Structure 1
Amino acid sequence: MKFHLNLLRAVNRAIYAIFEEEKYADKVLEKILRSNNLWGARDRAFIAENTYDMVRYWRLIRAVAELETHELNETNLFTLFGTWQVLKGVALPKWEEFKNVDEKRVHHNYKILKTQRKMAYSLPDWLDDLGYEELGKQWNKEVEALNETAPVVLRVNALKTNKADLVKSLAEKGILTEPVQGCKDALILKQRQNLFITQEFKDGMFEVQDASSQLVAEFLKIEPGNRIVDACAGAGGKTLHIASITQNKGRIISLDTEQWKLDEAKKRARRAGVSNLETRLIEGNKTIKKLYDTADRLLLDVPCSGLGVIKRNPDAKWKLSMEFINKVKGQQEAIINDYSKILKPGGKMVYATCSILPSENQKQVERFLKTHPEFVLEEERVVLPSESGFDGFYMARIARLEKTVTA
């Protein structure tokens, strides 16, 4: 492999911004990749892939390089980059920048460290302990899957096109895709490319959305004419899928606590050809109370740890904390207790997370059902990265009975 110094320096800048300045990896890379118009697709891929890979294996790389507590100056950043290349089996050029990379020492240290799960898969101690406590031996499979590179998956927008036509249209531009079994609107990209410059994207024919995430809207079992509330809508990814399923019939109300996310959802909805969407900013309990007993379908895609999507956001494991997870569990409990009242008797709601921890998923639903006898669990589904190859998700479809059950 031929290295170019300016590309390595770009990776170093990204790593420094992510770990020293505590910035989000996707935003860092977006800014860096925009900084040089002369970089081609291969150059950009080199920067992005090496940055994300180093973030995934950050603890291991630092330990193998014996730089766990050292500052991230230019010399050490080059040593860490070189260490990662040696671990991948790449021969390093005889550059001054790599003078501190001792290949024999790297292999020696790796042989020792790879026997420890938290080192081999680069996990903070507390996260490794939590995952094993909740999932047992299954955690071994999940941490391996979560360190893999996330595939790029498209969701066909049925308001604008169909799967066959989109596959053909993209193929004419050299963008090859294949269907995802068990996910009717999903197409997986065979080779990473910039999809956002295509006319198909600009015309709203598809969205980028993981296959597991696409299962959530289908799980609502939407019927024609339903009034649907997406109560934690964010920027509208699942809202748009719901609209596609409804074919612009019925009514969708998207709620969120941040106006900029709702503005983004409206922008995306216009591109997607959605005409049955209303957005509302959550301004305290009064917003929710106005909606009590009004929804045929309710989606609660609640805030969560995001442990199921670490392959997509590898820097999250270095930003997460036990304190945050405990806080978000409290939010989940409050949301399902309060927002469930939006559902009409006879309606159905889906509680969903992109976490793989039972304490955020099954246990939250069990606790809710124990104190709300007017609700019953219809079906739940756990999607594990090790089994699906996609993101980790949990979803539970819960029905509100027509009449309250008394003990």
Structure 2
Amino acid sequence: MQLSSLLGHSAELVRIIRKSPQPGDTIASEYFRSKKYLGSTDRRFISGLVFHTLRTLSLSEAIATHLGLEDVVHGAHLLMDNPENIDLSFINDLPIHVQVNTQDWLLTSTQKRWPTDAAEVWRSMMQSAPLVLRVNLRRATREAIIKHLTAEGIECTAGPLSPAAIVVHQRVNLQQHPLYLGGMVEVQDEGSQLVAYACAPAETDHILDACAGAGGKSLHLADLQE
């Protein structure tokens, strides 16, 4: 598919996601199912550009406006490719909160906690998050799951912080994998896993999860309570 068409599809999907209260990954899956003509390479390009756009929205909009580009997706595309013939030096003159894609008040709040590292904290959030699994330790060991995935050619290592975490080092769809379907693993970032361990729930505790989204931490808390 031509680049212009890929950018058009990406821009369309970004607009749909920004207008919807649904999670972006759910909308993207539905979008790709409705576009049967998109091949795996096309879907990979569009998905990468769309979520890069969403992670770098403020900066991408600033680039698109400054260079007179068609829309924010073109700005994000420049950020991804950064061709040498495009002068992006003006980015250094933008407000810091725009450069790191957050709100001014959020950056100020973060600076109170990390006076010298706040900008880098927000800049790190512009990167694609790694795929991290949480092993159901009541049903399997982390070592056994790593061995199983490695035997299938899936590169992975133990997470450095959570005793149940496995970091997968390649793009792979595990939602149809027998380990996932069988409840042996869940997709959950390592920071979220640490929340349940920090709570250290007792079996008789009554816990209200006031920040439950898909319920990953709630399920983990329940697992720890056995």
Normalized per residue, the structure richer in strand is 1
Question: Shift of residue 155 of structure 1?
Answer: 0.4
Aligned to 2:171: 192
Question: Shift of residue 185 of structure 1?
Answer: 0.6
Cα distance change of structure 1 residues 212 and 4 upon mapping to structure 2, 3 Å threshold: same
Decide which of 68, 73, 79 is 1:81's aligned counterpart: 73
Secondary structure of 1:184's counterpart equals: coil
Contact 2:49 / 2:77 at 8 angstroms: preserved in 1? no
Work out the CA distance in 1 between the residues paired with 2:119 and 2:82: 27
After superposition, the C-alpha distances for 1:223-262 in whole angstroms (9 at most, x for unaligned) are: 5xx212221263432232234334x3xxxxxxxxxxxxxx
Contact 2:161 / 2:190 at 8 angstroms: preserved in 1? no
Q: Does 1:213 align with 2:212?
A: no
Which structure 2 residues correspond to residues 310-321 of structure 1 after superposition, within 5 A? none
Work out the CA distance in 1 between the residues paired with 2:99 and 2:2: 26
Q: Which amino acid aligns with 2:73?
A: F
Aligned to 1:163: 142
Secondary structure of 1:11's counterpart equals: helix
Contact 1:177 / 1:189 at 8 angstroms: preserved in 2? yes
Aligned to 2:7: 8
Aligned to 2:33: 34
Work out the CA distance in 2 between the residues paired with 1:4 and 1:32: 19
Work out the CA distance in 1 between the residues paired with 2:7 and 2:118: 34
Return 46-55 or 230-239, whichever deviates more.
230-239
Question: Shift of residue 14 of structure 1?
Answer: 1.3
Which structure 2 residues correspond to residues 252-263 of structure 1 after superposition, within 5 A? none
Aligned to 2:53: 54
Work out the CA distance in 2 between the residues paired with 1:153 and 1:228: 28
TM value normalised by structure 2: 0.82
Aligned to 1:114: 92
Contact 2:157 / 2:166 at 8 angstroms: preserved in 1? yes
RMSD of aligned residue pairs (Cα, Å) = 2.8
Question: Shift of residue 212 of structure 1?
Answer: 1.0
Question: Shift of residue 182 of structure 1?
Answer: 2.6
Work out the CA distance in 1 between the residues paired with 2:57 and 2:44: 19
Q: Does 1:45 align with 2:28?
A: no
Cα distance change of structure 1 residues 3 and 136 upon mapping to structure 2, 3 Å threshold: farther
Q: Does 1:232 align with 2:191?
A: no
Question: Shift of residue 139 of structure 1?
Answer: 1.3
Question: Shift of residue 195 of structure 1?
Answer: 0.7
Which structure 2 residues correspond to residues 91-130 of structure 1 after superposition, within 5 A? 106-107=86-87, 110-115=88-93, 116-130=95-109
Decide which of 118, 121, 130 is 1:151's aligned counterpart: 130
Cα distance change of structure 1 residues 66 and 195 upon mapping to structure 2, 3 Å threshold: same
Work out the CA distance in 2 between the residues paired with 1:37 and 1:162: 39
Identity %: 25
Decide which of 181, 184, 195 is 2:160's aligned counterpart: 181
Aligned to 1:141: 120
Question: Shift of residue 166 of structure 1?
Answer: 1.3
Secondary structure of 2:175's counterpart equals: coil
Cα distance change of structure 1 residues 164 and 134 upon mapping to structure 2, 3 Å threshold: closer
Aligned to 1:66: 65
Work out the CA distance in 2 between the residues paired with 1:221 and 1:6: 51
Secondary structure of 2:140's counterpart equals: coil
Work out the CA distance in 2 between the residues paired with 1:130 and 1:173: 45
Question: Shift of residue 162 of structure 1?
Answer: 1.4
Work out the CA distance in 1 between the residues paired with 2:90 and 2:215: 46
After superposition, the C-alpha distances for 1:127-171 in whole angstroms (9 at most, x for unaligned) are: 334433554333122111222211111000022221122122223
Work out the CA distance in 1 between the residues paired with 2:145 and 2:156: 9
Structure 2 residue runs of 5 or longer lacking an equivalent are none
Which structure 2 residues correspond to residues 265-304 of structure 1 after superposition, within 5 A? none
Normalized per residue, the structure richer in helix is 2
Pairs aligned (count): 222
Work out the CA distance in 2 between the residues paired with 1:38 and 1:208: 29
Secondary structure of 2:163's counterpart equals: strand
Work out the CA distance in 2 between the residues paired with 1:40 and 1:171: 27
Q: Which amino acid aligns with 2:97?
A: K
